Structure 1
Amino acid sequence: MAANFACGLPIARRTSWTNENPGHKFVASKFYNYEIGQRGCNTFEWHDEDIVHWQKDVTSMLEAEKHSILKSRLVSESYEKDRLVEELEKMKKKSL
């Protein structure tokens, strides 16, 4: 594989983490933005075999678990922040 596509843009080997193609390898322009589908010079190639259903299911479950863990951390951090703000307010009132 060459370091650049025919358009001259550098390529990057990436892994898809979408629900449709979790773990699927591809190459695209180094400037590829999967969120908006912009592919630099519009060159895009899958670089592995299709995944089987159980792989997709396991990857999707792991991704959901990761999101759940991150969400619980965010809730916990938000609670801690609120608690600290409340403590700070109490301290300010005591000092007045």
Structure 2
Amino acid sequence: MVTHCGCGLPVAKRTSWTSENPGRKYLACKFYNHETGHRGCNTFEWIDEDILDWQRDVTNMLVAEKHRLAIDNNMLKSRLVCESHEKDRLSS
């Protein structure tokens, strides 16, 4: 297992949340940016086994549901704030 990257720094342990590899652990250069794909160097190593197709599907469904619930929660919070402001306006 890799302990230092090509930059000479200790590698960072991270978790992938791409739809292809949801929840998989890997080691990479601490300057790796998963959003841009920019790497400080090319050091990268999976530290767990690949997941099965059904595991990938279930994990992706759960991640999508989590995002949907977070959006629903934020909408409900906004609705409560609006209703509270309306109530305060009417009682003034």
Q: Which runs of 4+ in 1 moved over 6 A?
A: none
Aligned to 2:72: 72
Q: Confirm whether residue 7 of structure 1 aligns to residue 13 of structure 2.
A: no
Task: Normalising by structure 1, report the TM-score.
Answer: 0.80
Aligned to 1:54: 54
Task: Give 3-state SS (helix, strand or coil) of 1:72's partner.
Answer: helix
Aligned to 2:89: 89
- Paired with 1:42 and 1:86, the residues of 2 have a C-alpha distance of 55
Aligned to 2:42: 42
Identical-pair percentage: 52
- Paired with 1:24 and 1:46, the residues of 2 have a C-alpha distance of 8
- For the Cα contact (< 8 Å) 1:27–1:47, is it kept in 2? yes
Match for 2:79: what amino acid?
Y
Match for 2:37: what amino acid?
G
Aligned to 1:21: 21
Q: Cα offset for 1:59?
A: 0.4
- Paired with 2:2 and 2:61, the residues of 1 have a C-alpha distance of 35
Q: How many residues align?
A: 92
Supply the RMSD in Å over aligned alpha carbons.
1.7
- Paired with 1:29 and 1:75, the residues of 2 have a C-alpha distance of 38
CA 1:46–1:10 in structure 2 vs 1: closer, same or farther (change >3 Å)? same
Question: Unaligned stretches of 5+ in structure 2?
Answer: none
User: Which structure's CA Rg is the greater one?
Assistant: 1
Question: Unaligned stretches of 5+ in structure 1?
Answer: none
